[in-house]
Amino acid sequence: MSGERMAGRDLVSLLDFDSASLGRILELALEVKARPGDFSKALERKTLFMYFEKPSLRTRVTFEAGMTQLGGHAIYYTAADGKIGKRESVADVARNLERWVDGAMCRTFSHELVEELARLSKIPIINGLTDWLHPCQALADYLTLLEAKGSLAGKKLAYVGDGNNVANSLMNGGARLGVHVTVITPEGFAPNDAALSAAHEAAAETGAKIEVAHTIDAVAGADAVYTDVWASMGQEDEAAARKKKFEAFQVNADVMARAADDAIFLHCLPAHRGEEVTSEVADSPRSLIFQQAENRLHAQKAVMLLLLGGV
């Protein structure tokens, strides 16, 4: 797959890239995972700035370790050190960063902040998570599905839970890669019209089906069953109310039995065991949640190699 030229580009949304380019990222991730030593100096003397407004285990460790393993260096910077757009304007930060580092990864609340940094800065900006999207997570998810099933086109992924940033990026990735994605959620918690419209438009080119359902029966025949926490960061005060509305959408052994016989279970973590998923499912042989977490490292290394010009 040739795809679009990626060196110097931003990754704000998976829809920023065509199907071939996303396929190339996944292919490279598999190469990096299989032969890490071949890429150990690919980003030598390159520096990634990492900006965090939200706590992180997987995002911080995988990006920082990934840069180190590729021969580069990562700088960890939080909103406590100086919130971008408050202590200093976004434009001024962007123009400083492009003179110091080779790329920036941002994990923020505001999606608009990442879009603005991408627009104003000459270096690649990577979306490490916003309230709207989580593209790097979805890349790791589809890498895991690819490893488990051998191909992606025509596979069915059932996402059970809130129509949040993870759901949005899964829809975007599925649309580009030909994966049928069904978001199964209580009434009132589906992805919004803008997210659905964008995914449907992209899916028209690949034949992927992007659907919303409000009954757990929609997991029938799924190749992968995926869930996430019911209340995301910033929604802690809604947790009790959400728990009541989502309790019928817990992924348990009965739900997995309704999916395909060889269906895998996925979760972006951290998991609230006993809420959105039971330990029986999370710890079962069908669960690939830790392989999925590992794949954050490999998928993001592929992104950094392509965007920062390491390959």
pLDDT in tens, 137-163: 999 999 999 999 999 999 999 999 999
Same domain assignment for residues 20 and 166 = no
Residue-range definition of the domain harbouring residue 168? 137-292
Same domain assignment for residues 146 and 250 = yes
pLDDT at 5: 81
Domain-located, residue 45: yes
Domain-located, residue 4: no
Please, what is the Cα angle at 65 between 108 and 99, to 5 degrees?
60
Domain-located, residue 166: yes
Catalytic residues, by residue number, are 107, 134, 137, 228, 268, 296
Same domain assignment for residues 120 and 255 = no
Domain-located, residue 27: yes
Same domain assignment for residues 79 and 174 = no
Same domain assignment for residues 273 and 155 = yes
Domain-located, residue 115: yes
Domain-located, residue 8: no
Q: Does the pTM exceed 0.85?
A: yes
Instruction: Dump pLDDT digits (tens) for 24-35.
Output: 999 999 999 999
pLDDT at 3: 58
Those residues of the chain that have pLDDT short of 70 are 1-3, 233-236
Angle between helices 135-149 and 289-307 (to 10 degrees): 120
pLDDT at 231: 75
Same domain assignment for residues 163 and 193 = yes
Same domain assignment for residues 286 and 301 = no
Domain-located, residue 263: yes
How many structural domains compose the chain?
2
pLDDT at 2: 47
pLDDT at 294: 98
Domain-located, residue 167: yes
